[in-house]
Every structure is written in C-alpha cells, then in structure tokens.
Structure 1
C-alpha cells in the first residue's frame, strides 16, 4: 500500500513538473480574457486588412482598417481621453516605422470621441523570421488593451540580415539594433558592482541571531563602526557625483537631442460613417440563448433611402456573423488562422429587403459556437450585461450602410 502511494505521488509530481517545463506555443494575446462588455462596447474594428501576409526580413507590410468608438461606452471603463494605437505581436518580430490616424502622422497618444469614426494605417518592417499572429489594438488609459482582429503573417529570411538604421539630427547614421548597447551594459555593471560591494560589506559580518542578541542586550551602537559611517558618507557623495558628471558629459557630447514625446495628439474623427446612412436601427429586445449559443436581436429598422436594403452582417468583438444571403459569404475568408467568421450564421425571420421608406421589426439571430469559443457567453455574468456591435446593410445599388447598436441582454437557459 505504501509503495503504491509512493508511485502515485511520484507520478503526480512528474506530471506537474512536465506541465510546467514542457514548451508550449502561445498564439493568443489575452483578448479572450477581457470582459465581454469591454470587447463589445468600446472600440469596434472593421475592414482591417494587410497588404500581404508573406514577406522577407527588411520588407514592409501595411496594416489598414477602420474603427468606431461606441456611443454606449461602459460606465465601468474609463473614457478614452488618452489612448494609443499599437500592434500586438509575440515579441519584437517586427518594427513599426510609420503610423497614421485619419491620414495624419501620429506618434503620440490621442483622445477618441464617443461615436467617432476613424481609419488607421500602420507600416511594419519584418525583423525576425517565423510565423506570427499579430493584432491591431488600443491601449486605453486606466482600462487596458482592446484587441482588434488578428492575422497570421509569415516572415522569411535570416535574422542577421535585418537592418534598422536611422539618420540623426547631425547627419550621422546609427544602427538602432546596437546603438548604446555598450553604454547601457557599462552602467548596469557599475551599479551592480556598487550595490554588490555595499551588500557584501554588511553580509560578511554575523547576521540575524548575533545581531538580534546585541540589540536585545542594549549594544545596538556597536553594530555600526566608524568605518561603516565613512563608507556610507562616501557612497552618499559618490553616487550623486557620478550621476551629475555623467549628465554633464552627455549634454556636452549630444547638444542636439529631442526628449521622449509626451504630447497628446488632437485628431478629429472622420465625417460620420456609422449611423450616418439612411438606415436607422432601434433594438427593442436582445436575448442570449446560452445552451444554443445564439443571440437574437429584435430590431426595428427604418429605411429612409430610395433603394431596398438588406441585413448582411452583424459584427461584435472581432466576430463577424454573415447572412447566407450576403454575396460571397460562402467564399469569404479571413487572414487569421482561427475562425472568427460565422458564415451563414446570421438568420432573419424574413429575408425580404426593406422597401424605400419602410419600417419593419426584424428578428435577427446570430447563432454559432464562436460565442462560446471566444468566451463571450460570459456576458450574462458581467456586472454590465449589455451587448454592442455593428449591423451592416447593403442596398440595391451595392452601397453599404452601418449602424451601431447597443442593448441590455436577457439570458435564456432552456
């Protein structure tokens, strides 16, 4: 019995060690861990595309897209007064060389306006060979990152071939991969040496118990010798002197330097795209059927255009639910390796287009396992149990109209 118990404990320990040390690939960036109401009701990305998905080291790709800032911004999330658009990647596999918001060069943080529409362009340069999963994402001050749709890219070539040179204000060219490396290592070595020497100076003596006894016996003054005081004053003088001298030398050596920028760009949104068309939507009721992984929107839609319009797509939290009546829905693909498009997963109680001037209540159902695999079914457990997203329409002339929607969610468990 005892030998069996030892075998079981040894097996459990082996499994635990294997699970900790076994190298597992990480392909996601934590986007599924964010609360559903944040992913659905903050920043909605759409029309995100890459110029190409295969490139060599030193080649560039361009990521473009648009995003809509939800009008129904969650109360539990700080307003987007300070945000930063970036690209999430598994390490320094690419270098961002340019970034534009609404065709305006942007290197700093900027504020988003609720209900605003924006487009972005980011130029990336291949640095490390391999197959990587990248996302555009927003860092929201006091709220964290909100991911956009992901894409797989393939970078070929040799890492040693990467070149990252820039021209400075004085006209000299420097290699950003190695510039300042020796200086940084030297400063680290200096401070580590000073700190280690100071630590060893005290550790060389009897430590806890002997010192405790001396304090208990009223001999605390004997713990610090006159030499200790002299060395402490020497360090107190030398460290600031080194820092100030190094600062003066640096200012003299680099008289033309630009500090890190901390400005807040002021970028106006585009002329309204979402909610600007002739199609208006009012959500009357939303039900979330948890067992069947289906969200049903009861929408009152009014068509003010002179063309018939049809519902083609519902998008939320980087998921797209396409109507089977959407042209090309069966052949629509994504640059991601994982499925974020529910083809034919958007069903309506009536597929008849809305005639010009017609108002009609339509039941729209988005049913797919994506609600569970993307961990959005936890919406009903959120403190702010509301859904948000974009409804896409297409008229008889092929024009696209977009409406932003938001509504409380009523869960159904049977």
Structure 2
C-alpha cells in the first residue's frame, strides 16, 4: 500500500513539473492527426515559400506555391468537389487581405480536379505581435483539413499599432476592428433577455411533480392559463414582426450591402507544361521496413526528354527526402521538413535520353516515425503516395511525377 502511494505521488509531481515546461509540439495544428494515406494521396504541396518570416504589425507577408491533386485519390475520402484554402493560425494573429488561385482572385470554395496542378498565393497582414507556427491548409468538404508545410513567423511591433480600415461602396471609411460591435452586443443582449424572460415565465411555477399530479387528477386544462395563452400569442406575433421591421430598416439604411458569398468557383488546373510527359515514371512496388524506418520504391523511368535526368527528391506529406548527389534541388539545408541524405539509389548513373530503367529508391529517415507516416501499414488503405522530382543537370529542367503504390510491410 505504501509503495503504491509513493508511486502515485511521484507521478503527480512529475506531471506537475512537466505541465510548466514549454511543449513545442502542443503549438502545432494537428498536421499529423490525419491518417497517412490521406496526407500522402490528396493534396501534394510543393514549392511553398513565404516572402518573409520576420515582419511587424500592419506589414504584409505572402505565402505562395503549388500543389498537385493526386490522381490516386483515396476511395474512402470524398472527392474534392468543394475545397477551401485557408491559413491555420493560433487565433486572430493575422488577417487575410488577398487570395489567388492560378493568378485569379478567389473568394469562394473551389472544385479541384484530381491530376491537376494549381498555383496559389495568399497575402496576410500582421495583427498581433509574437512568434507563431503557421500553415496553409485545404479544408476538404466531408474530409477535413490537409495541412501544408508550416513555418514560424515572428511579428514585431505593438498591438495598438494595428489598423484595419477599409472604404465601403459609398465611400465611407470604417474600422473593421470596431464597426458594428456595439450594435452586435446590444442585439445579443436583447434576444438573450427575451429568451430568458420567456423561459422564466414558465419555470416560475412548480414543475414536474406538481404538474404530474394535476395531469393524474385530470386537471390538464388548468396547466395553461388564459394569461399564458395571451403571452404566447404576443411572442408568436411580435418576434416575426420585429424581425421583419428591423430587416427593412437595415436594408433601407444600407441599400448597397453585398451578402456573404456561397458560390462554388470553377478554376481549371494549370495548363500542361510543354515538357510534361517527357519523363514517365511507373511505380512497380513499395516496401516499408519497420525496423530500418525506410521505404523502398521500385520505379520504372522512361526518359523521353532530350537530356539525361537524375532522381533528386521524393516529397510526401510535406517531408522532402533529398538525394545528396543532386545539388540543384533548391532546398535550404537544415530545414525541419527536409532530410538532406534521406534518399539513395541502387544506380546513381543519370538516365540517358531514350533509356528505360528500373530503379530501386530507398527513402530512409526517422521522419517516417516522427511524422507518423509509418502508420500507413496499419491503415485500411495501405498505399504510399508522393511526388518524385527528376532533374536535368545540363538543361536545368525539372520533371515532377505523382506516384503511388500499395505498401508491403517488412518487420525484419
């Protein structure tokens, strides 16, 4: 008994101490919460970059990049017929001022086409100073959020310096931080008071047992008095009339108001590149070794381009596994989402023009475990997906292929 008490006491002390420590993982936004097959085979982000990571309140920052909508879309995930690009932040630390998809201003949800590539840009404005972990993400209808790569943004300045003034259709300048606040508070209190008065009118008298006894005695007609009926009629008529009158007053005061938009944009994917299809990649097999934390992909590369190509990168679920032998991949060493030596080939020789070669790619890194991607071997849809990047060192071209395959787990 004494031993058990001592164990519980030590556990309580440890929990108390740990609760006061800063936990960086708690500042994330659930980017590892979705099943690996959803993160790997839905929205495949690439070339995502921020204009700056240090700026002040009222200054703008933009995030831009591209994403590929995977052809091998999981059958258990609803098709992206209604999707919304947004920015995940820990509260209202930024405001979104502009958003573009394929160069077009974009305000509504959009229907995405599997197999298509899209270019996006979101412009944000600093609102609250601090250091925050920020992600772009797609909200997929009936599927949830698919997070893009995250970064830490540092916003300087003072909170009081922030301004969010806009010009309305009729030329009036209004402050969006305070416009309509008092009016909103008043009507919340008004309807809350009306609802509370209606509730109190009925609960002011004895309930339950007393009313049950009256029903049991056949006195149900006495439960509702003529005064109750009069109050109910006044509320039934008065509330709709009040709402209609106030709506007419508001419409007369703001005749040029634009309602919240609920449409669905139809924006086509980027046009196929001239060099698209000149390097074809077919995934033959995928094996995941649990003990080594490595994925072995066997692919068949058909090089129909004019120059020799080399496999330089495999990207999946915002993690980039790099081939150290290819130097022009364009990623900064030391980034948390980059494994600079995570990709190796059984044959490092460039694939010549017109050559077809079967290549074994080993993607080996602790990121498979730390990013919870190794859980795909326990998923009901155990398939790996991602983007394979091939480079032409001489002509400076890059070829991107979305690949996927069923995963065979290996435990030894």
| TM-score under structure 2 length normalisation | 0.93
Which residue number corresponds to residue 384 of structure 1? 381
**Residue 411 (structure 1) shift:** 0.9
C-alpha contact (below 8 Å) 2:100/2:122 kept by paired residues: yes
Which residue number corresponds to residue 28 of structure 2? 28
Which residue number corresponds to residue 309 of structure 1? 309
**Residue 163 (structure 1) shift:** 0.5
What do the CA deviations read for 1:82-122 (whole angstroms, capped 9, x no partner)? 11111111111101101111111111111111111111111
**Residue 137 (structure 1) shift:** 1.0
Counterparts of 2:274 and 2:108 in 1: how far apart (Å)?
Answer: 26
Tell me the C-alpha RMSD between the 2 structures. Answer: 2.5
1:79-94 aligned at under 5 Å gives the runs: 79-94=79-94
**Residue 72 (structure 1) shift:** 1.1
The DSSP-based 3-state class of the residue aligned with 2:369 is helix
Change (3 A) 1:301 1:274: farther
**Residue 344 (structure 1) shift:** 0.4
The DSSP-based 3-state class of the residue aligned with 2:341 is coil
Which has the higher mean CA deviation after the structures are superposed, 194-203 or 184-193?
194-203
Which residue number corresponds to residue 234 of structure 2? 234
C-alpha contact (below 8 Å) 2:313/2:329 kept by paired residues: no
- Residue 359 of structure 1 pairs with residue 331 of structure 2: no
Change (3 A) 1:82 1:363: same
Change (3 A) 1:198 1:128: same
C-alpha contact (below 8 Å) 1:275/1:402 kept by paired residues: no
Counterparts of 1:330 and 1:76 in 2: how far apart (Å)?
Answer: 35
- Residue 343 of structure 1 pairs with residue 333 of structure 2: no
What do the CA deviations read for 1:24-50 (whole angstroms, capped 9, x no partner)? 773111111111111111110100000
**Residue 230 (structure 1) shift:** 1.2
Structure 1 outlier segments of 4+, above 3 Å: 3-26, 328-331
Counterparts of 2:399 and 2:4 in 1: how far apart (Å)?
Answer: 67
Which residue number corresponds to residue 390 of structure 2? 393
Counterparts of 1:10 and 1:411 in 2: how far apart (Å)?
Answer: 42
1:404 to 392, 402, 405: 402
- Residue 136 of structure 1 pairs with residue 136 of structure 2: yes
Counterparts of 1:22 and 1:202 in 2: how far apart (Å)?
Answer: 51
Change (3 A) 1:330 1:71: closer
Change (3 A) 1:189 1:255: same
Change (3 A) 1:320 1:274: farther
Aligned residues, how many? 410
Counterparts of 1:388 and 1:275 in 2: how far apart (Å)?
Answer: 23
**Residue 333 (structure 1) shift:** 3.8
Counterparts of 2:208 and 2:16 in 1: how far apart (Å)?
Answer: 35
**Residue 222 (structure 1) shift:** 2.3
What do the CA deviations read for 1:313-342 (whole angstroms, capped 9, x no partner)? 0001111100111216798247x7xx2211
**Residue 10 (structure 1) shift:** 8.3
C-alpha contact (below 8 Å) 2:57/2:127 kept by paired residues: yes
The DSSP-based 3-state class of the residue aligned with 1:342 is strand
Counterparts of 1:211 and 1:59 in 2: how far apart (Å)?
Answer: 64
Which residue number corresponds to residue 43 of structure 1? 43
The DSSP-based 3-state class of the residue aligned with 1:353 is coil
Change (3 A) 1:213 1:17: farther
| TM-score under structure 1 length normalisation | 0.92
- Residue 370 of structure 1 pairs with residue 335 of structure 2: no
In structure 1, the gaps of 5 or more residues are: none
Counterparts of 1:21 and 1:151 in 2: how far apart (Å)?
Answer: 24
**Residue 273 (structure 1) shift:** 4.7
Counterparts of 2:132 and 2:292 in 1: how far apart (Å)?
Answer: 33
In structure 2, the gaps of 5 or more residues are: none
Counterparts of 1:274 and 1:74 in 2: how far apart (Å)?
Answer: 29
Change (3 A) 1:5 1:318: closer
Which residue number corresponds to residue 214 of structure 1? 214
Counterparts of 1:204 and 1:5 in 2: how far apart (Å)?
Answer: 52
Counterparts of 1:201 and 1:293 in 2: how far apart (Å)?
Answer: 67
Counterparts of 1:221 and 1:18 in 2: how far apart (Å)?
Answer: 64
Counterparts of 1:201 and 1:10 in 2: how far apart (Å)?
Answer: 52
Counterparts of 2:78 and 2:369 in 1: how far apart (Å)?
Answer: 27
Counterparts of 1:359 and 1:301 in 2: how far apart (Å)?
Answer: 6
The DSSP-based 3-state class of the residue aligned with 1:185 is helix
Which residue number corresponds to residue 70 of structure 2? 70
C-alpha contact (below 8 Å) 2:312/2:323 kept by paired residues: yes
Change (3 A) 1:259 1:376: same
Which has the higher mean CA deviation after the structures are superposed, 323-332 or 8-17?
8-17
C-alpha contact (below 8 Å) 2:312/2:329 kept by paired residues: no
The DSSP-based 3-state class of the residue aligned with 1:344 is strand
C-alpha contact (below 8 Å) 2:323/2:344 kept by paired residues: yes
Counterparts of 1:284 and 1:261 in 2: how far apart (Å)?
Answer: 46
Change (3 A) 1:235 1:146: same
